[in-house]
Amino acid sequence: MEVSRPYIVAGPCSVESHEQLAEVVQALERVPQVQMVRCGVWKPRTHPGGFEGMGEQALRWIAEQKAAHPAVRFCCEVARPEHVELAMRYGMDALWIGARTTANPFIVQEVTEALRGTEMRVMVKNAPSPDVQLWIGALERCRQVGLKELMAVHRGFDLYKNGDYRNRPLWEVPIELRRLEPELPILCDPSHIAGRRDLVASLAQTAMNLGLDGLMVEVHPHPDQALTDAGQQITPAELEQVLKSLEVRQTDSTVADEQLRLLREQIDLLDSEMLRLLAARLEVVGKIAKVKERGNLAVYQPKRWEQLLRQRRQMAEDCGMNPDFVEELFEKVHAESVKVQLRN
Ligand code: PEP
Ligand code: MN
pLDDT digits (tens, 9 = 90+) for 249-299: 887 777 668 888 889 999 999 999 999 999 999 999 999 999 999 999 999
Cα–Cα nearest to 93, from 78, 104, 111, 79: 78
How sure is the predictor about 233, in pLDDT bands with cuts at 50, 70 and 90? very high
**Distance in Å from the first CA to the final CA of the chain:** 50
Ligand 1 mean position, distance from CA 40 (Å)? 8
* Closest residue to atom 1 of ligand 1, CA basis: 13
Q: Which residues surround ligand 2, an ion (CB under 5 A)?
A: 13, 229
Q: Topology of domain 7-252, per CATH?
A: TIM Barrel (3.20.20)
pLDDT digits (tens, 9 = 90+) for 199-225: 999 999 999 999 999 999 999 999 999
| Predicted structure pTM score | 0.83
Calculate the average pLDDT of the chain: 96
pLDDT, position 344:
67
Three-class DSSP category at 341: helix
Ligand 1 mean position, distance from CA 13 (Å)? 8
Looking at the structure, give the CATH architecture of the domain made up of residues 256-343: Up-down Bundle (1.20)
- The 10 Å Cβ neighbour count of residue 194 is 25
| Non-local CB neighbours of 119 within 8 Å, separated by 6+ positions | 147, 148, 149
pLDDT, position 250:
82
* Closest residue to atom 6 of ligand 1, CA basis: 98
**Residues having CB within 6 Å of any atom of ligand 1:** 13, 40, 44, 98-99, 125, 155, 192
Do 7-252 and 256-343 have matching folds?
no
pLDDT digits (tens, 9 = 90+) for 169-181: 999 999 999 999 9
Question: What secondary structure letter does DSSP report for 295?
Answer: T
Q: Would you list the domain boundaries of the chain?
A: 7-252, 256-343
The CA distances from residue 195 to 153, 190, 251, 323, in Å, are: 16, 8, 28, 29
